[in-house]
Amino acid sequence: MEYTVQKLATLAGVSSRTLRYYDEIGILKPARINSSGYRIYGQDEVDRLQQILFYRELGLDLDSIKKMVTAPYFDGAQALKEHREKLLEKRQQLDALIANVEKTIATKEGRITMSDQEKFEGFKKKLVEDNEHKYGEEIRQKYGDDQVDQSNAKMMNMSQEDYEKVTKLANQVNETLAEAFKTGDPAGELAQKAADLHKQWLTFYWKEYSKEAHAGLGQMYVDDERFTAYYDKEQPGTAEFLRDAILIYTGMKK
Amino acid sequence: MEYTVQKLATLAGVSSRTLRYYDEIGILKPARINSSGYRIYGQDEVDRLQQILFYRELGLDLDSIKKMVTAPYFDGAQALKEHREKLLEKRQQLDALIANVEKTIATKEGRITMSDQEKFEGFKKKLVEDNEHKYGEEIRQKYGDDQVDQSNAKMMNMSQEDYEKVTKLANQVNETLAEAFKTGDPAGELAQKAADLHKQWLTFYWKEYSKEAHAGLGQMYVDDERFTAYYDKEQPGTAEFLRDAILIYTGMKK
DNA sequence: TGTTGACCTTGACGCTGCGTTAAGGTGTAT
DNA sequence: ATACACCTTAACGCAGCGTCAAGGTCAACA
């Protein structure tokens, strides 16, 4: 029995375009081409197509499928295991996503006090904090602590009350820092107050506080342009000023 | 504070291409364009970008995000709920996929007796059966039974032994049918044997057997070109012949 | 002042797996 | 002869950018 594209497509439950595409990418070529240029498929091609569709249903990409059905000694089981790993990872991400979406819905519906403005002010800070987490890798290596890991978990469990506290604290840091910057003296009263507020803010995210880590973070504000850009937003030089204030506050410099 | 693309990109942790794309699709336009054609972003754009990135992290597509951040009274919670539904559906599919992949890995590793050839002969039949399940909808409506649902579950639980039995049976159906077809007599001994084998084969998939459903399936073999193509593969007219044999076998016609 | 080198611009292709016209040839039944 | 169903290649479109390419701009350094 021989088939034209449409016949085979109908038999297998795919579109004729799909078969042409499979021909194009060389995953399933017709047995022969007749005098009018029509694709003619035979039994072998039917069988091969079943294999292809089977693997496709498992979510494998066509490139992998090609290897599986083409290379005679290809390790299919291995490929499937790798595929499974990818799927499992996907599911993890999906689960995390769903949890986040649900949290956001709850926030949108339940909490009355947070205006959009406030909320996104919070998120903006969260982004910077995320950067800190990302770059916290360095801190972790320097101080051998797991406080960076902890900060994530801690933030996730923050109550609405805590959230407001930390937001307020962050604002105070910024305000005090802006005032202090005008004095130009990182050892001055205002600057030291800013450093203290910064420490308080930090303790919301870090499980344990250490002077070394605090000072390290201050240095990072200067070294990493992401932080620099954030702190220098209003007044260029603020990041450096904050670092100096922290160095003095922690007693690492006087 | 003002930002060029790169600055904002670095601050937010995205690429400059992304910002240009967001400008292009109108989801985030720069505050102004300077005399050299450079994009200049201000504080408002930073804020807006944070919103966009937040929703993006939740897996929303940019079009939805655009609505959320553009339309002031857009029902964001509703959009998120719909999004959640989609995510949950995705997870279901993913779970099913993973189960299938694992089953296949187990088959590939554990079963020694099935050559690739045999295995995929099996899958080929499975595909046809799948079609039957799909089109079984009609049968269900006609005979008000839930046997179609059951067949799926039943097949999933088939043991390796059953699997071999049913494969063998399917071959016998085909062979006997091919022989019977040559006699040209659907009431003849061979044709009736084929119908009986077909019934036995069916009972592997259907929880309960009924003459009406059996005859209905026979008719479908003729009406639906997918089945027709499958049964007419070797000898055109076989589907019709099988239907007639079943009609006689079930006593619906004599 | 000329020249790097790091930025910026628009334009356009590539990726995945096809769906979907479009423009035109073929096969067959009436 | 005509209609109609089928076949062909070629090409764009989809989402969200990554990645050249070709060329203008800007600050710093010799």
Q: B12-35: per-residue pLDDT in tens?
A: 989 999 999 999 999 999 999 999
Whether the CB of B29 is less than 7 Å away from nucleic strand C comes out as: no
Residues of chain B numbered 6-65 and touching chain A (CB < 8 Å): 7, 10-13, 43, 46-47, 50-51, 53-54, 57-59
Q: Both A185 and A215 in a single domain? A: yes
- Looking at the structure of chain B, the number of domains it has is 3
The answer, for A178 touching chain B at a CB cutoff of 8 Å, is: no
Question: Does A202 reside within a domain?
Answer: yes
What distance in Å separates the CA atoms of residue B147 and residue B190, rounded to the nearest whole number?
Answer: 28
Is B94 close to A109, i.e. CB distance below 8 A?
A: no
Is residue A39 predicted with pLDDT exceeding 70? Answer: yes
Is A50 close to B120, i.e. CB distance below 8 A?
A: yes
Question: Does A243 reside within a domain?
Answer: yes
Q: How far is the CA of B69 from the C1' of C11 (A)?
A: 29
Chain C footprint bases within 7 A of protein beta carbons? 7-10, 16-20, 25-27
The answer, for A124 touching chain B at a CB cutoff of 8 Å, is: yes
Q: Both A119 and A245 in a single domain? A: yes
What distance in Å separates the CA atoms of residue A133 and residue A140, rounded to the nearest whole number?
Answer: 10
What distance in Å separates the CA atoms of residue B140 and residue B213, rounded to the nearest whole number?
Answer: 9
Q: Both B245 and B122 in a single domain? A: yes
CA distances from A170 to A85, A122, A128, A163, B202 (A): 41, 10, 12, 11, 70
Q: Both B228 and B174 in a single domain? A: yes
Question: Across A20-24, A123-127, A136-140, B136-140, which has the greatest mean pLDDT?
Answer: A20-24
Residue range of the domain that includes A20: 5-70
Q: Both A216 and A241 in a single domain? A: yes
Tokens of B131: 């079609």
Q: Both B87 and B207 in a single domain? A: no
Is A54 close to B120, i.e. CB distance below 8 A?
A: yes
Is residue B86 predicted with pLDDT exceeding 60? Answer: yes
**Domain holding B237: CATH number?**
1.10.490.50
Q: How far is the CA of B21 from the C1' of D15 (A)?
A: 12
pLDDT digits (tens, 9 = 90+) for A52-78: 999 998 999 999 999 988 887 777 778
pLDDT digits (tens, 9 = 90+) for A11-36: 888 999 999 999 999 999 999 999 99
Q: Both B106 and B118 in a single domain? A: no
